[in-house]
A and B are shown apart, each in its own frame.
Chain A
Amino acid sequence: MIPEIGHFALALALGLALVQSILPLIGANRGKLLWMRSAKATAIGQLVLVGLAFAALMRSFIVSDFTVYNVAANSHSLKPMLFKVAGTWGSHEGSLLLWTLILTLFGAGVAFFGNNITETLKARTLSVQAWISTGFLSFMLLTSNPFDRIFPPPADGNDLNPLLQDVGLAMHPPLLYLGYVGFSIVFSFAVAALLEGRVDAAWARWVRPWTLAAWTFLTGGIVLGSWWAYYELGWGGWWFWDPVENSSFMPWLLGTALLHSAIVTEKRDSFKSWTILLAILTFSLSLLGTFVVRSGLLTSVHAFAVDPERGLYILFLLTLTIGGSLTLYAWRAPALEAGGVFKPISREAGLLVNNLFLGVATGTVLFGTLYPLFMEAVTGEKISVGAPFFNATFIPLMLPLVLLMGIGPFLSWKRADIPGVWQRLKFVALLSVLLTLLVGYLTRGGPLLAYIAMLLAIWLLMATLKEWAMRIRLFDVPFADAMRRARNLPRAAYGMTLAHSGLAVVMFGMIGSSAWKSEEVRFVTPGTTVAIAGFDVTYEGVERVRGPNYFSDRGTLDVKRDGEQVTVLYPERRFYPIAESSTTESAIRSTLAGDIYASIQEPAADSADESGAWILRILYEPLVFLIWIGSGMLILGGTVSISDRRLRVGAPRRKAAVPTNATPAE
């Protein structure tokens, strides 16, 4: 009964979405307040009903109701409860439902908190939002119903891929979707602004917290995915330029551009049309990311063709959304008033160049991701575009951007004076060069690119810190005075400082773990010692241990340095009997200086099995932990920035009645 109520609730939600996509829009055009107001109620109604459907599906997973086909296919009675719950969004159908739930959550957020935007803009925004939910709800109900039933139910479920039975991965899709879908609100605002024909400072300021929130969630989602790949896949890498990763990275890159462009629109009334275009494109890439992954298009063009109904619907929705919004843009954007003018050397110009670099970088990634698909569709030949392509094209685009990131915050709006900026930065530049030389002395050898990147990362960190120091006039005024200034600095400024220096820290990790990584792969028998990066790792043997729904071969590795015990590592090879598949659980010892990363694999030959030999893979990755720390700083930067009081200023006094924790996107 409960799954059927969920199913019915989805149909009701689609009904509401249909009403909401038409009525408020016409209301806004004809000045009918009642119709405009209806958007608020229907948006919240959609959330309630989709939430009901989601709860119904989750309950089916929790109690293992195998009369629901989706549960039977993706769960198992023996699965740990956490993963039963996470199974709700583990499948194609479930993840669409989660997507839609988040979509309606954001829609209801606008409806609920959007008291400080004009009635017409709000009505139009919510209408556009309802178009998107109409698309998703109908896609779900017509081609991917999460409540399909099966009777009589199978005796037990089919389990979830054990590789995916991981806390990191359980949380990965929700975060990613919060990011993707967050951009839908920004998209709706952009389209609504085009319909309205008005983009001003208030619009930009209203858009910013949503962009920031989406960006922060997306960052979190990407980092979590990368972290999962690092410790679960057993390869010791954190980024593989895999199409799935790329499709989440592209909206991130453009979203970053959007974030910066929106500042210019708010502060300088400029870049209006550019901001709108970025908002449209960012969401288009989010859609592309969701759909391309969901349609199976990535595995192969043929996998897409296997289920043409789904594939065609996706294609239709994509064409409609992207084509429609870009047509609207082409038609309406020229009518937007031009804003403030600026000189070639100014913060606006700096941000423009930043936008261009990010845009081109996105294009590069898009090309590398889609090119193999086009090739396969046209010539039938399967090719893959891997890390070498991206390293050769993406990195050279990013390095000048990092150089610029150091300078940008020192430029003033409208026109900046280069000598003044150089005056402030010359010591930073000198210090960076000296520190890079020190790194060169310590590492003694490595690729030139690594040193260039290191120089730029140090430069970025130093320049960002210098900018902060300047703002609080550290060393200029008494220390206590400077601290008082530091406390009074707007949170958005701290957000910038945290995010920019976070990126520098991430870069340290990336450079260290790519350029100065050591790796050993050996056949080992108990007693074998492998020397790596100054450590002596002794393989003690493998024992069989049991877990809740798996059993595992657990290796014991004794790690010593200069004869002194450092740690003991237990890499595992797990076997899940119900799913009949294995996973690698690598053992990692993390320090700031670097990670020792060990994984074991079954011996290839039976003869080796008898002798007790296993394949041991040990990596030493210097500084890799800094990637996670830096990513944390990026996320923290986003969060701090959202909490800035000024983002709530829209209607500063009117909202006094609303408790502060009820502000949008916080």
Chain B
Amino acid sequence: MIFFWMGLSAVIAVVFVILPLIASRGREPEEADDSTPAVLMDQLDEVQRDFDRNLISQAEADAATVEIKRRILAAARKAGPERSTSSSSGRAALLIAAVFVPAFSIGYYTLMGNPDVSSLAYADRQAERAEQQKIQELTDKLFARLQAEPDGGASEGWMLLGQTYYRMGSYSKAVEAFETVAQRDDATSAVFSMLAEALIQAEDGIVTPRAEAAADRAIAMDDGNPAGTFYKAMALEQKGSEFEAHDLLLARLNGADGFAPWMEAFVGLANNIGERIGKEPISLTDFAPAMAAAPGPTQEDVAAAGEMSEADRSDFIRSMVDRLATRLEDEPDDLDGWLRLANAYKVLGETDQAKEALARASTLVAGLSPDDPRRDAVNQAMQELN
């Protein structure tokens, strides 16, 4: 459908290029007259009118008339027979142009266009909004029920509510829900790190003293909770203690055994800070030799990577990523693969390519059922990149 309309507009463009060919067929086009004498004749009339109206004297009128007449003569002399070759010559150039215009546009569009992204009018997204509305109602109901319960509601209920609010982007409401649990005796480290996270989001990324206190509590209760350490590092960074923040992140990374998903975020933040304070960039493979065990490096690869120099290692990672990218070109329907690729690019700091991979992922997501968790994964990754 879309290609039909594009084709039609290309045809329109081509028609406009070759129109002179069609129009000139069978008749010799007439020449346009030079209009200079007409304008000058009109000026003669004007002088006469001005004279009639007593605006100028007889002498002035005569002088003006003589001068304009002289110009008419001059113009007539100049309009020599500087005339063209026959109208039929040069057809080839027009035909070349007629090929060039669509070829150029299709070439450009192939590079820059998004033909598979459909358009979605706001009015046609009722279902999506209804879905959101339903979630909203459910959360509201949950909130009401939790509040109505005599013991203040189950902690699990409040945590679920907080996480739902967080995902909906209602960060201040999420803070309220987490806080309710945080005040209880059964509050775990995770409760405090989630609270810290929600507090930071509510302030658009600023770590307030309240958020830092929550992160401190999370570490105090369980120093293995990476989220607590992460937000603590952010707090330190924002307070200007970049070295301390960097050390904290590295210490936690070194203390980990084996790869864990949170390490990517740690490496990203550490490199961000490191760049400003002049530290060597670190790489995920320093800490997680078993990274990306899934379709990619074999045990041997990983072992080899461990013995490589810094430069070799980054080349190695690059080649892994490239291999994944090539494979995905052949199997473009592999949603998980695209997500992994996007993640890899993100870690390498290549945001544009990460976005591209996510765009591919999002086209696949469109075909999934609305409650598929991977939908959220793509959305979230998109938002993080933008």
Contacts and interface: CB of A to CB of B under 8 A. Distances in A.
Contacts of A119: 31-32, 84
A159 interface: no
Contact of A34 (B10, B13, B24, B108): B24
Interface in B87-123: 87-91, 93-94, 97, 100-102, 104-105, 108-109, 112-115, 117-123
Nearest to B32: A119
B12 A49 contact: yes
Interface in A36-77: 36-38, 40-42, 44-45, 48-49, 52, 60, 63-68, 77
Contacts of B130: none
Given A12-B101, A63-B123, A649 B42 contact: yes
A76 B33 CA distance: 54
A7 B108 CA distance: 10
A650 B19 CA distance: 26
B277 interface: no
B8 to A, nearest CB: 9
B351 interface: no
A141 B108 contact: yes
Interface stretch (B49-57, B174-182, B263-271, B285-293): B49-57
B40 interface: yes
Contacts of B6: 4-5, 8
A42 B382 CA distance: 41
Given A7-B109, A32-B84, A414-B63, A12 B114 contact: no
Contact of A11 (B23, B75, B108): B108
A651 B33 contact: yes
A116 to B, nearest CB: 5
Nearest to A9: B9
Contacts, number: 225
A71 to B, nearest CB: 9
Interface in B265-283: none
Nearest to A48: B12
A63 B121 contact: yes
A151 B101 CA distance: 30
B38 interface: yes
B328 to A, nearest CB: 18
Given A202-B36, A649-B39, A651-B33, A3 B119 contact: yes
Contact of B120 (A5, A14, A153, A412): A153
B36 A200 contact: yes
Q: DSSP majority for the A interface?
A: helix
B2 interface: yes
A1 interface: yes
Given A5-B9, A152-B365, A471-B55, A34 B88 contact: yes
A41 B19 contact: yes
A149 interface: yes
A90 to B, nearest CB: 17
B379 A152 contact: yes
A27 interface: yes
Interface residues of A, number: 80
A65 B118 CA distance: 10
A152 B87 CA distance: 54
B9 to A, nearest CB: 5
A200 B19 CA distance: 31
B320 interface: no
B85 interface: yes
Contacts of B101: 12, 15-16, 18-19
A64 B17 contact: no
Contact of B105 (A15, A36, A651): A15
Nearest to A43: B16
Nearest to B363: A151
Contacts of B2: 1, 4-5
A7 B105 CA distance: 10
Given A67-B119, A649-B39, A8 B53 contact: no
Interface of B: 1-2, 5-6, 9-10, 12-13, 15-17, 19-21, 23-24, 29, 31-36, 38-40, 42-43, 46, 53-56, 60, 63-64, 67, 71, 75, 82-91, 93-94, 97, 100-102, 104-105, 108-109, 112-115, 117-123, 125, 128-129, 132, 359, 362-363, 365-366, 378-379, 382
4 closest residue pairs by CB, A with B: A45-B16, A64-B122, A15-B101, A63-B121
30 contacts: A1-B119, A7-B112, A11-B105, A12-B9, A12-B101, A14-B104, A15-B104, A18-B100, A32-B90, A33-B87, A37-B23, A38-B94, A42-B17, A45-B17, A48-B12, A52-B9, A119-B32, A141-B112, A151-B366, A152-B365, A153-B125, A200-B36, A202-B34, A202-B38, A205-B39, A266-B39, A340-B67, A412-B55, A412-B60, A649-B38
